[in-house]
Amino acid sequence: MRDSATRFLASRPGIILVGTLIGVLATLLQKLGNPPNMGICVACFERDIAGALGLHRAAVVQYLRPEIPAFILGSFLAALLFREFRSRTGSSPIVRFFLGGFAMVGALAFLGCPWRALLRLAGGDLNAVIGLAGLAIGIAIGVAFLRGGYSLGRTHPGKPVGWIMPAVMVALLILLLSHSSLLFFSEKGPGAMHAPALISIGAALLIGALAQRTRFCTMGSVRDVILMRDTHLLSGVAALVLAAFVMNLLLGQVGWGFSAQPISHSNHVWNLLGMVLAGLGFALAGGCPGRQLFLAGEGDGDASVFVLGMVTGAAFAHNWALAGVPDKMVDGVLRVGGPGPNGQLAVLIGIVFCVVIGFTMREKLEV
């Protein structure tokens, strides 16, 4: 039975089914309390976790989002069940940490990870088109580096390494469910908006397990089309958008336009450049933020380092005013948001950092 399940989930119908499920569950989580067009956003949720742990003090984005721990634990359980759990590490972890940090800066300049960009589009936010274009450009640059020999090196077995992140995720869920006084909780803003914790955990455990089996990855879908003209992963991403759009229509959660979209800004230049940085960082690290969580659940210590880099990047983004701010109406006049001067400079520095890494981290060919 395990073999037949593996074959189905590795097929195109399997990845389409999983993409559809993610789209449906994400819109339902929004309906049940998660922020608008943010039923699932790995970058935003990791930012909220950073706030809950006191790593930043932006009071409106502090909540220990249970979806993130549950994604990792769902992948962890699936990897154990299908005998794919393998502890490993040692593939340029410090580079991965900084790639994660800068990828988060880019995502927060745009106000969302690739998953949220897709969900924003499915909710009618046309700024997502600009963000997805930037994401594709960043990934294309990363693919060019891959073709030129870019590599972060090989991983090596490390028995205790792979167990650390799942254990930490269990600890975080215990803190959340016990309403620990160690955590910070938003009283207003996006951080105060969340679906019931147990429902979020159940949905994310299922997504984590199925995504681990299908290798679901938004970055990988674009990379595979460019490198191999392979649309397998892309079909799952398309299914996510279509399913989320249909569900949003049924639930009355669609509002078309660019201006004053929920937790979004219409500063097109920085929507584009922010996601160029994010896409390039994900490509150089080998996976989108969701895929990095699922790899961490499989025992990949380097993916765990990337995740920690993203959490750290979120802390710096809010402590140093690097993140974008949403559009808002002031006396009936639209005030366009986006990242301020600090954030704009950080995005440019991040792009330069990633380009330098892409040129310098190359395997030498033996003569």
Look at residue 2 in the predicted model and tell me its pLDDT: 73
Confidence of residue 366 (pLDDT cuts 50, 70, 90): very low
Chain-centre distance of CA 45, in angstroms?
9
In a domain, 246, yes or no: yes
In a domain, 366, yes or no: no
User: Looking at the predicted structure, is the pLDDT value of residue 35 above 80?
Assistant: yes
In a domain, 367, yes or no: no
Most confidently modeled of 153-162, 271-280, 322-331? 271-280
In a domain, 199, yes or no: yes
User: Looking at the predicted structure, is the pLDDT value of residue 367 above 50?
Assistant: no
> Number of structural domains, the chain?
1
User: Looking at the predicted structure, is the pLDDT value of residue 365 above 60?
Assistant: no
Q: What is the mean pLDDT of residues 287-311?
A: 97
Instruction: Extract the tokens encoding 163.
Output: 């167990």
Q: Domain range for residue 39?
A: 2-360
Look at residue 3 in the predicted model and tell me its pLDDT: 77
In a domain, 308, yes or no: yes
In a domain, 234, yes or no: yes
Q: Please write the tens of the pLDDT for every residue from 219-278.
A: 999 999 999 999 999 999 999 999 999 999 999 999 999 988 999 999 999 999 999 999
Question: How many whole angstroms separate alpha carbon 249 and alpha carbon 100?
Answer: 34
Q: Please write the tens of the pLDDT for every residue from 195-215.
A: 999 999 999 999 999 999 999
Which of these ranges, 156-160, 252-256, 356-360, has the smallest mean pLDDT? 156-160
Look at residue 331 in the predicted model and tell me its pLDDT: 82
Question: How many whole angstroms separate alpha carbon 294 and alpha carbon 301?
Answer: 11
Q: Please write the tens of the pLDDT for every residue from 119-140.
A: 999 999 999 999 999 999 999 9
In a domain, 365, yes or no: no
In a domain, 97, yes or no: yes
Look at residue 364 in the predicted model and tell me its pLDDT: 59
Task: Give the predicted TM-score (pTM) of the model.
Answer: 0.96
